[in-house]
Structure 1
Amino acid sequence: MNPSSRRTFLATVGVSALAGCSALRGSGSDSDAPPDYLSGHVVSLADGVELPDVNGVDEQDDPADADIVLFPAKEASEDDAAQALAIGTPVVFVGDGAPLQSQRTCAATGKRYGLPGDGWGSGELVSAIVPADGRLDTQRFMNIELPDDVPWAINEILTGHPPDSDVSVNGISRAGSATELGRTRIRGRTQVGAFDRWKRATAVPDGSPTHAVVDTVATIESGREVAGHDIEAGYHADRVKVVSEFGEELESTVPDTGETDSLTISETERPKRGSVTHSFEPRTDDALKSFTVATRSRIHLDSFSYPFDVHQNVRFNWRKPGLFHDETWTQHTPGRSLWDRGK
């Protein structure tokens, strides 16, 4: 398969719609050998980027011959990164300042793009930009270690997409004339589990009425190995809470308060203030191990202009039952997600 065909295939199966049938990757194997995350992937490494000692890495100097190209965040050339994106090759920045470099590169391309947040922490050392249908989608990784977790992140970038949700959001449809603003992702792990959060925004800028639709898909996992790291035993998935502030009038939101076969759902909204909170808790043994939720909200807009933003915090909670009291662990993914057009 030639490089262009490989990238087209990967873009189709790995970074497409906010729907799919894959689960979170990174679960451990029965052997002591580390997972071969780079198998089948062709990688281009700029000077200053290191990979751990892994076998069988297929490296190419020319980004045109690779599935993905990695740059050091502090020394990256925006021109080199933009050239790789222009030919359809995903770009990854590695090291301190990776999210900032990703944001600057997106803005310099002139394309539509989305960002998962306008702030970041010290553990966010990998940030990716993935070309898709004339726009740029972004992925950011939290709580990872360099260089050991880089192969896992590469595989996630090229193959990861949200699994099917345990919750239906079909109560709100997207207009066929809607403009795809972009898709963003935050992926990471904690000492007790793993989490994955995707957002997608579409807008009808000249519709009657003008409006936007925002989707969130979130997965929580417990009791598994992630990226070669052991997860502390005894914790189970306890709750996922999606807290959203849109800054505009909330026309409608799903899901409503109720139950599915595996989850209990509570929903509280303040339409005039443009805010809504969805909370999801497991009802079955399988859901205590892992579950995926989704929300969809339609926002009324007096007019549309870039940047379009959403303030949202998806909170992932784990619980470890105890004799006298339970132990809990919470991972926040807060911030102002925004979608913009480069200059």
Structure 2
Amino acid sequence: MVEKTPEPDKRVTITDIAIQLKLSTSTVSRALSGQGYVSGKARQRIVDTARELGYVPDVNARNLRRRSSNQIGLVVSNLWDPFYAHLAAGFEGIARSHGYDVVLILDRADPEEEVLAAESLIAMNVSGVAITPVSASAITRLTDHGLAVIQLDRSVIRTQSLVASDNFDGGNLATRHLLDLGHRRISIMIDHVRWTSGSARLEGYRSAFREDGLTAPEELILQLGETREAMQSSIKTFFNSALRQGVTAIIAANSVVSEILYRCCQDLDIAIPDDISVIGYDDVHWTTLVRPSLTVVSQNVDELGREAANALINAVKHPENRGSATRVLIQPTLLERESVKAVR
């Protein structure tokens, strides 16, 4: 009798291994799962054959049988913004140390794609999801299916748990530093303030002025747009307008704005910090490589990702606590470098 081997383009199953070795599927299953008794010699033979045939466990099928999963989801807006890449790295490291695999999905900050991401994760039977939300719909879809959910970086539902940087403190910290150095005409540039992260940084900016008995210059609060092209155009328009007159410092309120602002200053021969002082947001790699190096507000993004993973895993393991929303705020840090100088 010729032994039956699986076709090259067909996924190898436990049944294929059992036929190859003339064993029962239950024996093969026990050997590969490590649950139940199989003699040491038989187990090794089964494991070796599985490896030779290219067997890979069907995780989704196993999760459905167990009605549980060692997978958790992470939904972020994009990865070309270094913030999200660092966030994902911190999150994945903690998840892996607890035995969880991370399913990463990008939603491009689109509410419809975010709902599709939620539905995909539900279909995969993940145990929980951390999400940088752009609307409430995806979160509602996930919680309606009984999944643990953590809002990450920003909040769209106040009654849902959140792990975020203290964005108010970050905006205040940057502005306070400039005010203490004598700056008064300080512009803050941000893509938009639709999300709680950006709006909180803006409120921190205004608060720092109030603390000194001053009024924040509202005309210098610039929302640049959501694409790189729009941001670059808005920044160059600002530098070429009368509005720039008297401005001695700029706060770039996220990492993408920081990068584009720095490049615009180079293109327009605006010397940092001699012509204008600049504070960026997020301690990304390039900020220490350029000259002058960029003073930044660090969100401690790796820590943010780690805290989010810990919070989600805790919610997965303790479903009885999901009714009470928790808020974890990571404190930002001002890293002083070469791009800011005092006003004489």
- TM-score range relative to shorter protein: under 0.3
Structure whose residues are more often helix by fraction: 2
Q: TM-score, normalised by structure 1?
A: 0.25
Structure whose residues are more often strand by fraction: 1
Decide which structure has the larger Cα Rg and report it: 2
